[in-house]
Structure 1
Amino acid sequence: MKKINIPTLDFYPFKLSIARRNMEATIEKVLGEIENPAIFEFDKNFSSEVNNLIEALSKITSDYDLLEFSYKIKLRHVRLLLSYLSSNYDKIEHTARINIIKLTWLNPKISLFKQLWSTFQTLYSEPAIIYALKFYFKKFDHLNKLIGISEREFFFIKQWIDSGAEINKFVEFIIKENISLVSIKERFYIKDDKPLFTDLCWNIAITAKSTHFFSDTNNIKYICDMLEKTNSIEKLAQFYNHYLTVLDIEHCDRQILEILVDRFGEPNKPKVNLFWNLLDENVKQKLLMWLNEQKLLLFFSDDNERFSFWKRFIKYMEYVYPDRQNYRVFMYFKNIVVIEFGNVGNAIYAYSKDYFKSAYEVYMNLNRSNDFFKDKNNCLFRIIHRTNWKYNTFLCLRQYENIG
């Protein structure tokens, strides 16, 4: 097909204007045919027709034989093979894979482009399909209309593919343009079940430094979906190291943090030590502070005064253990363990950490009464919730924990 270039002019001679309208009408007709879902219907149960074509292509080793084959095969078969290749890449032998892609440029048809772009999203690092797209870019105009994206976005796609389709360059463009993850699908016609979309999302999530990006509810949805689906602890650690370094803990999304805790437990009581070893110390400390705050918030849900007081010292706490069944909470500091009781009329008790571990820790989960943990003779300090209880507690914390 000879390439037709129609210039954009403010004034057209009459015949050129007619030719342009005819060209646009032809494009609209092709678009309509490609959007017809019946074109892409095929037997997903490995029909004999598909298997026979793949078997034949696996035996073709010369370009001359493949060229001859391309003139014999029907256009609907090429579409069918591209669609099958997109979802069954690993099941097709290498020679057959390459030959399927080569068919698209040995006997090029503009109506193949949409399916070729979809297949590329699965095999975007495959040199053969990169070459195929470059070939189509040079041979045909108005390809952006076939996939429904703007000329600006399509211009970037062409440049990106011409330069080798490196994922990091696409990521840089997305971040520079402040494009949300959901907008990637719409602006570039990239399907969210394709490896290209998944890899873009991962790389953007471990590169972006904008609080706006991480606070976007649509981005959070896709990030959570990625985190829940991946089995790679290295990728998870890479994301959380970046996420908790870029954002202050108060700006982090609760669901994103809960996915981590639900899967691996708490930093100081890990279910999988290897994962926690991959996290930076400052990241683990941030996460621990957030966990301790959530536990205190839950325990003091009806007592904002006490919650606000203890929240000031969360960064000094190593661990918080709330026992809501018996309405008490144990706050572990570096040197002491402080106990608060939920019911009215109970004082604060504090013990040295070593004494508490030997005398009480084994009983924390045994449903002992609150009185069991009250020992006036062996506690370091005991403070009743009266007028000056916050000031007195602060003085004791400063004495035993060197809190300024």
Structure 2
Amino acid sequence: MKKKLGKKYMLWGIADVGEGLVAFISGTYLSFFMTDVALIPLSITSVAMFVMSASDFILASTAGTLILMLPEGRWGRLRSYLLICPVIAAVFFVIHFISFGNNIIITALVITAAYILARCMYNLTFVANLSLINVIATNQTEKNQLSSQRMIGSNLGRMLANTVTPVLITLFAVQYSERALYPMIMAGGGVIYILFNWVQFWLAGKREKAANDYSELKLRDVFSALVTNAQLFVIVLIDLTSNVTSIVLPALAVYYYKYVFQQPQLTALHMLLTGVAALGGAMLVRIAGSKIQSPRKILLFVYPIIAIFIFGTRFCTWSPFLFMGANIIFHGLTGTTQPFELSLYMDNVTYIKNNTGKDMNSLVMGFSNMTVKIANIIKSLLIPITLMLSGYVAGEANEAVKLAIINAYSIFPMLFPLLGFFLLRFCYKLTK
């Protein structure tokens, strides 16, 4: 019988600060680094970004299975990954922000290879960290507590990444070139990522071994659990709402402020305020989570509002601050949906275990990482295609580029909260 969580678990989620930091420095600024700093042509950038995103998707989809099937590590089946993998990932995260002067092909190849290796280690850490919630919590209330704290940490990391990066670029642009600044910033984020994962490794302590009831799983067990469980794939599609909002739109916002408003200095303020809003939404769930009896009803209420405000940004092009206000609202709402979307995965873990007797914790929780990768694939296709079709030339703002960015920001991402609403209302069948 596990003891209830002590006060030290108020620190739970600190690893997610590091994860959010490195993931969003990479996710938000890598495409911009390739097109506007390394000056890699859009045709090469689009191919490289697609290869990176597709590889990341494959790695994410197999991370949970690998954790279940590989032998247990010295420090536990899950905790071992928090100790070792972040160090390797941090090194390659730095390398994928290195450019080699005018040697475009070498730069693109190094960025792509380093990204894939970094994400391989990152995905294993991410899934292990997320799976620990189900292992160390003693009841549903503690699961909700740890899940909301995780989202608070993740949103804090995203906010830091998207706010501090442009500020540092602006402050040190005189002393250093942007080619040098991005790897330096990534190195600082990597150190934080490593240290914060080690703190979470310590927090989990002996609880994983005490709670660990994993059995040896074979590939046919995994395959059987997937093909007989359509609800898991419904959850993945529902979960795209928050991930498209938090991954695709910040990356587009960098171009929005540079080319639509032509006020790139406002990017840092935008990232700060939307990050604070998302953090506030997650904290609200942390405070009121135990009183919320039906997360599904809240999601059904919030999803249409998110869609309305995303679409509404197209009418704010005359005022960057009105645009910023609309973003603050829907990012805040997205912050409230993320812990509830995560709870759908946890329900699915229980569902599979009750029906098969197999503990598929890491496999199922790993699927929540897949939605991040799908959102990254969408971003890797949407941004280059949008820019290429508009006749984009780095540094030149014209009406075609502006209109393309406005449409990309307000129309396509709006479809995902509407899809989430439809699937949750008509296709999601799991009940308490």
Question: Is TM-score (shorter-chain normalized) higher than 0.5?
Answer: no
Bigger proportion of residues as helix: 2
Q: Give the TM-score of the pair, scaled to structure 2.
A: 0.21
Q: Greater Rg, structure 1 or structure 2?
A: 1
Bigger proportion of residues as strand: 1
Higher relative contact order (CA 8 A, sep 6+): 2
Q: Give the TM-score of the pair, scaled to structure 1.
A: 0.22
